[in-house]
Amino acid sequence: MDIFDKVLEIYQEYYICPHCLGRMFSLLGTDTTNYDRGISLLLAITLENHRTYLARDGDHESAIVKLRTLAEKALYAPAQSVLKKEGFEYNKVSKLEKCYLCEDIFSDIHKYAEKAEEQLQNIEFKNLLVGTTVNSQIVNREDNFKAQFTLLDSESFKSHFNREVGKCLSLILGKPVEFAKPDMTVVYSLKLDSFEINLLIRSIFIYGRYNKFLRGIPQTHWDCRTCRGKGCEECNFTGKQYPTSVEEIISPEFVNKARAEGSKFHGAGREDIDVRMLGEGRPFILELIKPKTRFLELERIQKKVNKRNKKKVRINELKYSNKEQVKALKLDAENTRKVYKALTYSNEKVTKDNFGNLLKKLKDALENKKIHQRTPVRVSHRRADKIRNKKIYLLEGKFVKQGVFEFLIETQGGTYIKELINGDNGRTTPSITEIFGFSVVCKKLDVLKIC
């Protein structure tokens, strides 16, 4: 059966609109739309049968039957005009019947685009994409239709809708369609008699570095251990283990300016709560979720955050980033080098001269060597119990006074410095405690550099 016969067979049973007719043969031909393809088929069949009717040896009766099918079943005006011109009657049907496949959704595409336009007002985005979830009634009806007529060259309802609404919306808004990483995805939930729109706004990612000048502040929000964030007497009904965090100090200004629904803080590792982050700062990426404003004045936000939190936290080097860099930030954390300053204490009576000998012994044992660290007891409740091999690149020491030493240590990212000093009861080996032969504990620790 050729395409013309297939089209006529369809219209013997169902009325479908030109959009859906073209969709049924969308893999055939190119550089056209489904609507134009459908109209072209109807026109070509009309022309072919009019020619057959006018030919002396043509099958006149068959030609008129086919023209009547187009006139009455497809409601195709040119076929109706041919019949009228040649003096034949046909049943005049007013356009009451809706397309069997789309119920005339494709004949009213502007309605869907204009509804989305209303919801997109006052939201900033550079490009867009249209997506669709289609009611099973529509899908099942179309699947059965294609099976009934053995239609193997068709395009899905969803693909056609996405493209046509996308083109219309792009034209109305003056914004291009973007398939890879759209700022805005407009998702239609379609039924035959209704629809809903859900806006998926791509997150904004802001890279920067932060300094933490106060001890006692964690990097990110911690839920109260007792109530797990619900609020209880233990946390004074705040739901928080600690009053604030680097995340909570930095994020609000960004969330406010971006009119975002929330944020996620991604750090390149993290320092302990009682450790300061000095030097050039620790890299971080702040993810702003569902922002209605995408184009932020980063320098102004930076100044405002820094002025408000002068003695607590400082941010710098702000620039736009992306999701891929978040992954790289996490993966590269252990490949970085970090420089620490540790102030330590021991009960052992060590003179300045003795410390010089001990330091030489320490450098020989640790510099450019690897240590073995089993997950420390202090974090074993939230970290996998395994042994990590970490390299110590540089170790310098200074005698401060009896029992007090200061160390400058450059290590591989992910090294537990406090355990490198105290040995963690043999879980880290070798350690400063093990090499010295007496207990040494870290009293104050600062991160000086991450590179």
The tens digit of pLDDT for each residue in 220-241 reads 998 898 998 899 988 899 998 8
CATH code of the domain in which 143 resides: 3.30.2130.30
Query: Based on the domain organization, do 313 and 258 belong to the same domain?
Result: yes
Comparing 74-88, 126-140, 160-174, 331-345, the range with the smallest average pLDDT is 331-345
- Tell me whether residue 346 is in a domain: yes
Give the separation between CA 137 and CA 150, rounded to whole angstroms. Answer: 20
Q: So what's the pLDDT on residue 99? A: 94
- pLDDT tens digit sequence for 292-301: 999 999 999 9
- Tell me whether residue 246 is in a domain: yes
| Residue type for position 423 | G
- Tell me whether residue 311 is in a domain: yes
Query: Based on the domain organization, do 345 and 382 belong to the same domain?
Result: yes
> Quick one: which of 96, 82, 85 has its CA closest to 45?
82
Question: Which domain range does residue 324 map to?
Answer: 204-333
201, 231, 254: which is the final residue of a domain? 201
Give the separation between CA 149 and CA 23, rounded to whole angstroms. Answer: 14
The active-site residue, picked from 104, 272, 274, 332, is 272
- Tell me whether residue 429 is in a domain: yes
- Summarize the confidence of residues 63-83 as an average pLDDT: 96
The separation between CA 144 and the C-alpha centre of its own chain, rounded to angstroms, equals 36
- Tell me whether residue 73 is in a domain: yes
Q: So what's the pLDDT on residue 222? A: 86
pLDDT above 90 covers what percent of the chain?
90
Query: Residue 329 in contact with residue 308, Cβ under 8 Å?
Result: no
- Summarize the confidence of residues 94-101 as an average pLDDT: 83
Give the pLDDT band of residue 214 (cuts 50, 70, 90). Answer: very high
**Looking at the predicted structure, is the pLDDT value of residue 437 above 90?**
yes
Place of tokens 């003056």: 174
Q: So what's the pLDDT on residue 330? A: 86
Give the separation between CA 348 and CA 168, rounded to whole angstroms. Answer: 79
- pLDDT tens digit sequence for 360-373: 999 999 999 999 99
289, 306, 333: which is the final residue of a domain? 333
Q: So what's the pLDDT on residue 358? A: 95
CATH code of the domain in which 369 resides: 3.30.70.3190
Q: How far is CA 369 from CA 71, 264, 290, 398, 434, in A?
A: 88, 37, 47, 21, 15
Reply yes or no on whether 272 is catalytic.
Answer: yes
- Positions of E strands within 119-203: 128-134, 184-190, 195-201
Q: So what's the pLDDT on residue 96? A: 66
> Quick one: which of 297, 302, 207, 286 has its CA closest to 248?
286
Give the pLDDT band of residue 427 (cuts 50, 70, 90). Answer: very high
Token duo for residue 395? 């170790």
Query: Based on the domain organization, do 319 and 380 belong to the same domain?
Result: no
- pLDDT tens digit sequence for 243-253: 899 999 999 99
Q: Measured on CA atoms in the order 216, 222, 225, 229, is the torsion positive or negative? A: positive
Ranges of H-type helices in 15-156: 18-23, 34-54, 60-72, 77-85, 109-119, 136-149
- pLDDT tens digit sequence for 263-272: 999 999 999 9
Element (H, E) at 357: helix 352-366
- Tell me whether residue 271 is in a domain: yes
Q: Rounded mean pLDDT of the chain?
A: 95
CATH code of the domain in which 290 resides: 3.30.70.2510
Comparing 46-50, 226-230, 390-394, the range with the smallest average pLDDT is 226-230
- β-pairing, 275-289 vs 441-450, is parallel
- Coil vs helix vs strand at 180: coil
Token duo for residue 10? 């369809």
Give the separation between CA 269 and CA 372, rounded to whole angstroms. Answer: 19
> End-to-end distance of the chain based on CA atoms, in angstroms?
71
> Quick one: which of 101, 173, 100 has its CA closest to 130?
173
Residues in CB range of 439: below 8 A, 6 or more apart: 346, 347, 348, 422, 433
DSSP letters, 42-76, are HHHHHHHHHHHHHSTTS-HHHHHHHHHHHHHTS--
- pLDDT tens digit sequence for 334-365: 788 999 999 999 999 999 999 999 999 999 99
- β-pairing, 128-134 vs 184-190, is parallel
The pTM of the full predicted model, rounded to 2 decimals, is 0.87
**Looking at the predicted structure, is the pLDDT value of residue 201 above 90?**
yes
- Tell me whether residue 443 is in a domain: yes
Query: Based on the domain organization, do 139 and 68 belong to the same domain?
Result: no
Token duo for residue 427? 């879980």
The separation between CA 180 and the C-alpha centre of its own chain, rounded to angstroms, equals 11
